[in-house]
Amino acid sequence: MQIIAFLAFTGLVALISYLKTRSSKESTLEGYFLGGRSLTAGVIAGSLLLTNLSTEQIVGLNGSAYESGLSVMVWETLAAIAMIVTAIYLLPRYLKGGITTVPQFLKDRFDTTTKTITSGLFLTGYAVVLLPIILYSGSLALSGMFDIPELLGVSKSTALKLCIWGIGVIGSVYAIFGGLKAVAVSDSINAVGLLLGGLLIPVFGLLLIGDGNILEGLDILTTEHPEKFKSAGKLTDPVPFYTIFTGMMLVQLFYWGTNQQIIQRALGAKDLKEGQKGLLLASFIKILGPIIVVLPGLIAFHVFDGGLENADDAYPALVKKVLPGAWVGFFAAVLFGAILSSFNSVLNSSVTLFGMDIYKQHINKKADDQSVVKYGKLFGILLAIFAMIIAPFIEDAGSLYDYLQEVNGIYSIPILSIIVVGYFTKRVPAIAAKIGLLSGCIMYIFSQFVLQPYFVESALDQAQAQNITAAADLALIEAQAYPHFLDIMAILFLLNIAIMLLIGKFKPQPVPYEITHTKQVDITPYRYLYSASIAITLVVVGIYIYFA
């Protein structure tokens, strides 16, 4: 029954996606890479949410909530503000310039080398970190949910590899052969399923706690664990409250405003109004995200009395505990859709970056649209195979969610800094952008993988010499030994911008940069952009005040 429900829902999504996209012209660049610039607000919002939400987030954030409480909701709530900033300031400039990729703007603003370096950073991050982690975490969840090792009579390692290749092959079909529109349509359908399925877990969990009464369950949860319902994170929490005002907002702006896998959905909008409405709709729904990715972790803490050995087991254990058997197949299908969404979105963006910024720019400048799409697809196939091969080797990587956020800082802050300087200055030259990219990457790597381990190890050695053994004391010492990685991001962001502005001061670009309006889409803004943005911002602030 569970397998039938899983196959039925998955098949339904595939059928609808095929029917909706069979008439699309995928042989043209805009048709394949931007869905023919025809995406509407609902499709954009659904695709944004599903691209973002996957197993590494659902499992990882709920595990963090189990351990640290409500403060980790910042990854969800602050995303709403970042999407508002993108809708107001970045998207109008993107659509006015008619760009297909973010690096394409960097070519227009600086030069081809800057664009190529940025595309290379994106592709390296996607290939080495993001795609393998999505495959691994998703396979881990599905293998456990269906108990694949017992079902097929194979080892856990073999089952994991089978799931990785299954997800990889199916995701590749969506992303490589369907283009952005197929990805976006399947995402919007899965978004509905994920919202409904994701809500089932906290609902059933609260029913269990409240003995059949949801409100009673919520009252018991908040009364017995008030320390878990604090919006302000402590210094030893994964996200201390003060980091909201340092690097957290920068991470969110990079992710929602400049990261190719995300912003590509808005770049495919039929006009600016639809793109802005899609971002605002996604930002409003994102505020409700903690119900799916934080609340279950808090419920699990109560249900299992904080006794789980590994915090990342909180969500899978709760699902197994509270979800009726008849719902398991449907929920697995929804989760499968979320996994596919993240995988095929990253893969589609990788194909776009390679086709537009590498192949057409450096390999075959005279290539027609069909050739660019053809070789972009070939690159996508090779990249998918590479990710499927190395995914099983990250089994011992530790906390995947924290690892992903920290490692992404290698390229996220340098790229964000040059985009900010590129759009808000007119005479900073290309050499400044290249120095900003390389110096930002090198400084972050040196900070997080050389200096941080040295200072933390030294502090812990001193604690050991003083016979300090309490876990809470050691955690505080470790937190105080070196700045939080979000603080480092903020410091390097400001330093990067200062370096580029200084270069621009002494060696300005001869001709000031001006955005050329390509008139590919209408850039009339959404009528209620500012009023809706203010309302959403007030809701976010209100949530923090209420739980302070």
Domain containing 265 — which CATH number? 1.20.1730.10
- Give the C-alpha separation, 502 to 508, whole Å: 9
- Give the C-alpha separation, 373 to 356, whole Å: 9
Sequence-ordered list of residues with C-beta below 8 angstroms from that of 407, at least 6 positions apart, any chain: 125, 129
Would you say residue 478 lies in a domain?
no
Q: Which domain holds residue 288?
A: 2-405
Would you say residue 99 lies in a domain?
yes
Q: Which two tokens stand for residue 461?
A: 């050695």
- Give the C-alpha separation, 119 to 116, whole Å: 5
| Residue whose tokens read 């920290």 | 406
Would you say residue 304 lies in a domain?
yes
Question: What is the per-residue pLDDT for 80?
Answer: 93
Judge contact between 250 and 241, C-beta under 8 A.
Answer: no
- Give the C-alpha separation, 75 to 81, whole Å: 11
Q: Which two tokens stand for residue 250?
A: 């920068």
Q: Can you give the pLDDT of all 548 residues of the chain as single tens digits?
A: 556 666 666 666 656 655 555 554 444 444 444 444 667 888 888 778 777 777 777 877 888 889 888 988 998 899 999 999 999 998 998 888 877 777 778 888 898 899 888 888 888 888 877 888 888 878 877 776 677 787 788 887 888 888 888 888 877 776 555 544 555 566 666 667 777 778 889 999 999 999 989 999 999 999 999 888 888 888 888 888 889 888 999 999 998 988 877 887 788 788 899 999 999 999 998 888 898 889 999 999 999 988 887 777 788 778 878 887 767 777 777 777 777 777 777 777 777 778 877 888 778 877 777 787 778 778 888 888 888 888 887 765 555 566 677 778 888 889 999 999 998 899 999 999 999 999 999 999 999 889 998 998 998 888 888 888 787 788 888 888 899 899 999 999 999 999 999 999 999 999 898 887 777 788 889 999 999 999 999 999 999 888 87
- Give the C-alpha separation, 481 to 460, whole Å: 9
Question: What is the per-residue pLDDT for 29?
Answer: 47
Judge contact between 303 and 321, C-beta under 8 A.
Answer: yes
Would you say residue 425 lies in a domain?
no
Would you say residue 545 lies in a domain?
no
Question: What is the per-residue pLDDT for 365?
Answer: 79
Would you say residue 462 lies in a domain?
no
pTM here? Answer: 0.81
Judge contact between 401 and 60, C-beta under 8 A.
Answer: yes
Give the CA-trace dihedral at 6, 8, 14, 20, to 10 degrees. Answer: -140
DSSP 522: B
Using CB atoms within 10 Å of the CB of residue 285, give its burial: 0 to 12 exposed, 13 to 18 middle, 19+ buried.
Answer: middle
Judge contact between 93 and 524, C-beta under 8 A.
Answer: no
Nearest to 34 by CA among 319, 369, 337: 369
| Residue whose tokens read 């709709």 | 281
Would you say residue 452 lies in a domain?
no
Amino acid at 432: A
Question: What is the per-residue pLDDT for 430?
Answer: 93
Nearest to 145 by CA among 319, 304, 262: 319
Question: What is the per-residue pLDDT for 185?
Answer: 62
Distance of CA 365 to the CA centre of its chain: 32
Q: Which two tokens stand for residue 170?
A: 């199916």
Length of the chain: 548
Question: What is the per-residue pLDDT for 122?
Answer: 80
How many structural domains are present in the chain? Answer: 1
- Give the C-alpha separation, 396 to 206, whole Å: 33
Nearest to 387 by CA among 128, 161, 142, 177: 128
Would you say residue 466 lies in a domain?
no
